[in-house]
Amino acid sequence: MTELKYDPRDPLVMNDPLPMLKRLQDEDPAHWSDALGGWVVTRHEDVRRVQSASEVSADRLTPFFESLPGPERERLREVIHYLNTWVAFKDPPEHMRLRTILNAVFQPRDVEAFRPRIEQAVDELLDRLDGQSEFDFIQAFAFPLPATVILFMCGLPPQDMDRLKRWSELMKPFIGSASRSPEKYQQAREGVRGMADYFRDVVRERARKPGTDIISRLVARDAARDVARPDAGGQGPVQGSLTEDEIVGTCMLFLFGGHETTTNLLGNGMRCLIRFPAERERLLNDPQLVKSAVEEILRFDGPTGGLVRVVKVGHEFHNRTFKPGDRVFSMVHAANHDPRRFVEPERFDIGRTPNPHLTFNYAPHFCLGAPLARLEGHVAFERAVRRFPRLQLAGPVSYMDTLVMRGVREMRVRVGA
């Protein structure tokens, strides 16, 4: 048996990570990866624990930034500044403060109100594909659908999609922990700077002319921005308000997270339905299965490869010593295929229940946009399968070089007879 050495940079592992990850589950559930410079955790129970443990921190950016040499630190200062406003990278109590505000602005019960716009967007995109024998499913459908929806929710003009997409693509290798992108720091700086400048103008315009969109709601919460907390020496926002930079950063999070995760969900999901035609036929014959089908797609080949945490408090884990400052890579894709938690995990079953996958995270960091992503998936798969019941792959696909996000940039499909 070959030595266990997990290296996500290996193209074979990137495109088909499960064989190695399953070996780690069985033989070395707390594995030190020299390639990653951190611990790799793969079992469902352990990944779930890491997602909620107080011994680890979600703030992986600050220690990384502080470890950089001076010139690199200056180059990334603006990037880290804005990304560190994201609730995804916060620990309590700051996490709770931001989460409380965002929950008030973007409530799960509000998501259903967007269904008509999502249905309209799905139908318009599918109509454009009528008569085509072959197309790129990502560029023609999986990307523009969530992008259209998030632009609508934010009150942004559709014609801004291309430049927002470009900035997002520049940020993706850095945020996704890409391993083979030598220009990712410079690209991240360019993407963050462009997106931050864009949203700062939008935020200031919303302050002058508020609407009913999400950004206007964030700005409305900002009325007390200039009132200082008594315990902060006259610095910072009061409880329940956001600074302008926090609003700008949150807009960037809405845009990036609101389309990236769902694009990968749609692309990965259609690939699953093509790969397992019997399950696609099952969905076609019983559209009521679409909700459980989306959950199975999220489990079987979801848009999340892993999450990164940093050890705050040293502790023992599977007879290994996790020291403060160590990075921990909790491999969500592996956890969702753990036979200790799922019966026949390699079987794609759109009726699977229960389905306790960890794709949207767990506990305090549960994904704020999960209800919206699910709704987009429900509408998209039910209608796309009905419109194109015999889609086939028209060529090979390669997964992106990102450990955190799991998806492909291109997916050529052919309309079958």
pLDDT at 228: 40
Q: Examine the pLDDT at 340 and tell me if it is beyond 50.
A: yes
pLDDT for residue 10 is more than 80 = yes
Q: What is the pLDDT of residue 208?
A: 95
Give yes or no for a contact between 349 and 363, defined as CB atoms under 8 angstroms apart.
Answer: no
The greatest distance separating any two alpha carbons of the chain, rounded to the nearest whole angstrom, comes to: 70
Please give the pLDDT value at position 183.
85
Quick check: 57 and 310 in contact, CB under 8 A?
yes
Residue 226 has pLDDT above 60, yes or no: no
Confidence class of residue 308 from pLDDT cuts 50, 70 and 90?
very high
pLDDT score, position 235 = 43
Residue 176 pLDDT: 84
What pLDDT is attached to residue 27? 96
57-94 per-position pLDDT tens digit:
999 999 999 988 888 899 899 999 999 999 999 999 99
- The pTM is what? 0.93
Asked if the model's pLDDT at residue 231 lies above 50, the reply is no
Q: Which two tokens stand for residue 201?
A: 């103008």
Token pair for 99: 């989460």
pLDDT at 70: 85
List the 38-41 sheet strands across, edge first.
Answer: 30-33, 38-41, 327-330, 307-311, 56-57
Question: What pLDDT score was predicted for residue 258?
Answer: 86
Average pLDDT over residues 320-346: 97
Which residues, 6+ apart, have CB-to-CB distance to 256 below 8 Å? 168, 171, 175
Token pair of 113, please? 């109100």
DSSP state of 112: G
Q: Which of 215, 160, 154, 164 is nearest to 191 (CA)?
A: 164
pLDDT at 316 over 90: yes
For residue 45, what pLDDT is reported?
97
Q: 163: which strand partners?
A: none
At 106 the pLDDT is 85
Helices (H), 41-114: 44-52, 61-67, 70-83, 94-105, 108-111
Is the per-residue pLDDT at 35 higher than 70?
A: yes
**Rounded to 5 degrees, what angle do the CA atoms 138, 252, 298 make?**
45
Q: Which domains does the chain have, with CATH numbers?
A: 11-27+59-305+370-415 (1.10.630.10)
The CA-atom distances, in angstroms, between 220 and each of 98, 104, 245, 354 are 15, 11, 15, 40
Burial call 172-193: b when 16+ CB within 10 Å, e when fewer: bbbbbbbbebeebbebbbbbbe
Percent of the chain with pLDDT over 90: 80
pLDDT, tens digit (0-9, with 9 covering 90-100), for 151-209: 999 999 999 999 999 999 999 989 887 666 678 899 999 999 999 999 999 999 999 99
Question: Above 70 in pLDDT, residue 355?
Answer: yes
Give the pLDDT band of residue 2 (cuts 50, 70, 90): low
Element (H, E) at 320: strand 320-322
Q: pLDDT band at 417, cuts 50/70/90? A: low
State the first-to-last Cα distance of the chain, in angstroms, to the nearest integer: 46
Find the mean pLDDT for residues 83-109: 91
State the pLDDT at residue 239: 52
Helix-helix angle 370-387:244-275, to 10 degrees:
30
Q: CA dist 28 to 24, 43, 219, 283, Å?
A: 5, 10, 48, 38
Instruction: Tell me how far the alpha carbon of residue 13 is from its chain's centroid.
Output: 20
Give tens-digit pLDDT for 367-410: 999 999 999 999 999 999 999 999 999 999 999 988 899 999 99
For the chain, give the percent of residues with pLDDT over 70. 94
pLDDT given at position 416: 79
pLDDT value of residue 52: 87
* Amino acid identity for residue 46 in this structure: D
Q: Which residue has the higher pLDDT, 173 or 322?
A: 322
Instruction: State mean pLDDT over 106-131.
Output: 93
Cα–Cα distance, 385 to 380 (Å, whole number): 8
